[in-house]
Amino acid sequence: MRVVHPPKDGKYIVRKLSMTEHYRLMGFDDGEFNFGTQSYQQICKRAGNGWDVSLTSKILKKIFNQL
């Protein structure tokens, strides 16, 4: 995943997300995950293949509220 920052001196700045940023987008707090010896690609793939934790919790709350 790439992030595009606003133009600076007429040029856009494009960068990759860090491993920590990938997991923050999934709703995890810092320190809740252990990267171990996995590569950047493996970690980002694992984050991308998982369900969004905050979205899943919102769906489940709505389901249980209707019961």
pLDDT, tens digit, 9 for 90 and up, residues 19-58:
888 878 777 777 777 778 888 888 888 877 766 667 778 8
pLDDT at position 51 is 66
pTM for this prediction:
0.56
pLDDT at position 36 is 80
Range of the domain at 40: 2-66
Does the CA dihedral 26-31-34-36 come out positive or negative? positive
Number of structural domains (the chain) is 1
CA distance 30 to 10: 34
Strand 2-8 relative to strand 11-16: parallel, antiparallel, unpaired? antiparallel
